Amino acid sequence: MSEKVCAMFAGQSVQESGMGIELLKNPVARSVIERLKPSLGGDLETLLTTMPEAELALTFNAQRAIHASHVAHWLTYKAAHPGLELNGAIGHSMGVVAALVAAEALSVEDSGIFIAARAETFSNCCKEFSEPMGLAAVATDDFNDVVESVKEVHGVSVALWNTIGKGTIGGTVAALEAYAEKARAEDWPVKVKLLKVEGPYHTAAFEPARKILTVIVGTLDIKAPKVPVFMGTSGQAETDPGRIRELLAGQTIACERHLNAVRAAYTAGCRTFVETSFKPQPVTWLSDQLEAGTYKGVPVTTAELAL
C-alpha cells in the first residue's frame, strides 16, 4: 500500500453469534484473546463462539466481544503484514479504544480494563433508567437538517453523526416515537428506524458512566500515539495523552462525530482505509463520506487475515 493507511474499527452493533469461531483458530488471535481474558472476563471465549444472539446483544456482552474481536483481528493482520506502515487510526464509538491499541497509545491489557469498565458502567446506566430509552437511526440527504429538527422535539438529541446523510438520535422511546410521528405528519424527507439497543449512548443520560470512566482513564498508561488517532468525540486528530483521556471519558455523553473524524484523516493525507473485522462496517460508509475515486476502502474479513 503506497498511499497513507488509516485503520478503522466499528462500534457496537457488529456483534454476531459465533463471530470468533474462525478467528480463534489463528494462533496470533488466540494469544490476544488470552491476554484480554483477565480484564474482559473468563466468559470471553463463550462470548465469541457460542453465546446466543439475544444475550450477546446486551451492552455488557456486546462491547466486550466486539473489542476483543477488533484487537485480535488487527494484531493478526499486522503480524501477517510486517511491512505495513500505519499513518492513522479511527474508531467509531467504542471502536476508538481498538484504534488507540493500533496506534500504540494503549496496551492490549489496558484497553481491556477500560472496555470492561465501559461495558459495565453503560450496562448499569441502562438498568437505572426510569422509562424506556434508546436510539433511532435517521437517514436523509443532509444530516444537518436532522441536527436542526431534533430541536423541535423535547427529549431528543443527536447521538452519532456517521455520514453526510446518516446518523442516530437518542432519548426516551416516547420522544423518539414522537420525532418519527412528527416527521411523518409534516412530511420531512427523513427515514426513522428505532434500534434495538438498551439506551441512548452518547447522550446526557450516560453522565453517571462518564464520572466513573473519568476515574478509570486516570489509572491507565496512555502514551502519545505513534500515529494520530482521529476521534469522533472531537472530530479531529488527537495525539496528546491528556486530551485523549478527557475524550475517552467524555465520549459517553458527547455526540460521536464519525464523519468529521474520517474527513480529518483524509485531510491529513490518508487515502487507504483498512478495516479488519468479522463484519466490516465503517469502511463501507466511505462512499457517503468522501469524494468518489479519491480513496480506497479495504475490508478484511476473518478469512482474509493471512492474505
The domain containing residue 149 runs over which residues? 133-194
DSSP 300: E
* 8 Å CB contact between 51 and 61: yes
Residue 76 grid cell: 493478526
Q: CA-to-CA distance for 191 and 78, rounded, in angstroms? A: 39
Q: Can you tell me the distance from the alpha carbon of 304 to that of 307, in angstroms, rounded to the nearest whole number?
A: 5
CB atoms under 10 Å from CB of 111, counted, come to 25
State the amino acid at position 124 in one-letter form. Answer: N
Among residues 217, 254, 228, the alpha carbon closest in space to that of 6 is found at 228
Clarify whether residues 209 and 118 are in a common domain.
yes
Question: Is residue 199 one of the residues assigned to a domain?
Answer: no
Which residue from 307, 260, 301, 239 is spatially nearest to 1, judged by alpha carbons?
307
Both 97 and 182 in one domain: the answer is: no
Predicted TM-score (pTM) of the model is: 0.97
Identify the three-state secondary structure at position 219: coil
What is the count of structural domains for the chain? 2
3-state class (DSSP) for residue 158: strand
CATH classification at residue 161: 3.30.70.250
Question: What pairing do the DSSP bridges indicate for beta strands 133-139 and 166-172?
Answer: antiparallel
Which residue has cell 493478526? 76
Domain identity same for 173 and 113: no
In a domain, 236, yes or no: yes
pLDDT tens, position by position, for the chain (307 residues)? Answer: 468 999 999 999 999 999 999 999 999 999 999 999 999 999 999 999 999 999 999 999 999 999 999 999 999 999 999 999 999 999 999 999 999 999 999 999 999 999 999 999 999 999 999 999 999 999 999 999 999 999 999 999 999 999 999 999 999 999 999 999 999 999 999 999 999 999 999 999 999 999 999 999 999 999 999 999 999 999 999 999 999 999 999 999 999 999 999 999 999 999 999 999 999 999 999 999 999 999 999 999 999 986 6
